[in-house]
Amino acid sequence: MNKPIDPKSIKQEVQNEIAKKQQAIIRQYQYPLSQGQNMQKLQSYIMSSKPVGSAAYLELPPILQEIALKLNLSSIEILMNNETNPFKKLRYKLAMFATKKMSSAGKSKKQLQKERETKLQSVVAARQQKDNIKNLKKQKNKFNNNLGETINSSLGNNKNANKNAKRKPIKKPIKK
């Protein structure tokens, strides 16, 4: 006797989950929000229900824009996780993608260049590390091969050593 699931209760649970997540994000930014009228500006922006990227959003200081983006991303993520309709999930994924792109669009060219340089440096460092590991393996193999040949020749197991031992010494002509 399973009770049918009430859609209103599901919506309420999702809204509660979104509210908890957004409160946690606001707690993370407690100090910047306590400066001046930042909290009032953020509340007025949220109450206006303007989308991220609107003129009202662009008027906010950069820290408030970042907070608004994170709040938006968290709510989209929760909605996407609780959705069963594949078309709505796709819609939420597209919204999430566009919102993430918007977060990088708000950055200055210098900030983006610095991010690219740090990514490039990490890629170069990883490649150098791989090359170093390959070189060390090659050196280890060469060392092991040379060591094996040395041991074999000292034990008399080396073919070349046996050939040389069987050869007669070359007679030098006697000078008169």
- On whether both 22 and 56 belong to a single domain, the answer is yes
Q: Are residues 86 and 141 in the same domain?
A: no
Long-range contacts of 157-160 (CB under 8 A, 24+ apart): none
Q: Which residues are CB-neighbours of 52 under 8 A, at least 6 positions away?
A: 68, 69, 72, 99, 102
Q: Is residue 112 assigned to a domain?
A: no
pLDDT tens digits along 46-60: 889 888 888 888 888
Q: Measured between alpha carbons, how far is 114 from 35 in angstroms, rounded to an integer?
A: 28
Q: Higher-confidence residue: 96 or 165?
A: 96
* Whether residue 14 is found in the same domain as residue 100: yes
Q: Are residues 20 and 84 in the same domain?
A: yes
Q: Which domain holds residue 41?
A: 7-106
Q: What is the pTM of this model?
A: 0.55
Total structural domains within the chain: 2
pLDDT at 157 exceeding the cut of 60: no
Tokens representing 52 are 């991220």
For 84-116, the pLDDT digits (tens) are 899 999 999 999 998 888 776 656 667 777 777
